[in-house]
Amino acid sequence: MSKKRADNGIPKYQQIATDIAYKIVNGIYQEGQKIYARSAIGSQYSVSSETARRAMCILADWDVVTIEKNSGVLIKSMDNAKNFLQQQEKTRSIHNLKRNILDSVKRQQQEIEVLYDYLTEMIDQIERYRSTNPFIPYEMVVTEETPYLDRTVGEVDFWQETFATVIAIRRNGVLMMSPGPKAVFRKNDIIYYTGDEDCPDRVRKFMYPD
């Protein structure tokens, strides 16, 4: 970061101009008083004479001071110094608001990137887990829309039509393991079954053909 620009992004010469304007408003410098030459101002604020010159030019543009060639800087108007400070305050407020917005956007982008990384990791782990554990069951809720309501697993040729194996049925909170081909599909049953990755789509189309 440049030494001529503070952490808050305000150029050093602008900070110097603001500081001198504050001194005028607070009576440290009086109207009609002559203050240091540019080189002395640069030494006072530990900046180059060019930075000091730019600070004085800003104040001169606002008629706060008059730059007298080879004779220093003359304080011209306290009122103009006040006007300059008011404008600086508005500029600083806008700058701070802009910085806060950009910081907020940056934080949101970082949070989105972190969330994306978490989601990617979770999906990868699920896929790896499923590939090493092919018997992780799928599940489906039986509704009255199926044409196979109150019919048995064997009666509707469930396995032959879907290549899915029913391994359990949960009914009214009770889990029935290995129900077999005589198990009946009842409304609100939760059917647990195993099969390949295309199995859920085949089961859904079979149970709800419309």
Report DSSP letters for 131-178, one per residue: HH-TTPPEEEE--TTSTTTT-BTTTTTHHHHH--EEEEEEETTEEEES
pLDDT at 98: 79
Measure the CA–CA gap between 129 and 127, rounded to whole angstroms.
5
pLDDT at 89: 83
pLDDT at 99: 81
pTM of the model: 0.43
Closest CA to 195 of 169, 160, 170: 160
Domain 138-207 has what CATH class? alpha beta
pLDDT at 8: 56
User: Which residue intervals of the chain bear CATH 1.10.10.10?
Assistant: 12-82
User: Which residue intervals of the chain bear CATH 3.30.70.1450?
Assistant: 138-207
Measure the CA–CA gap between 63 and 172, rounded to whole angstroms.
86
pLDDT in tens, the chain (210 residues): 344 445 456 788 988 999 999 999 999 989 988 887 667 788 888 888 888 889 989 999 999 999 887 777 889 999 999 998 888 887 777 777 778 888 888 888 888 888 888 877 876 776 676 666 656 789 999 999 999 999 999 999 999 999 999 999 999 989 899 899 999 999 999 999 988 888 999 999 999 997
pLDDT at 37: 67
CATH of region 12-82: 1.10.10.10
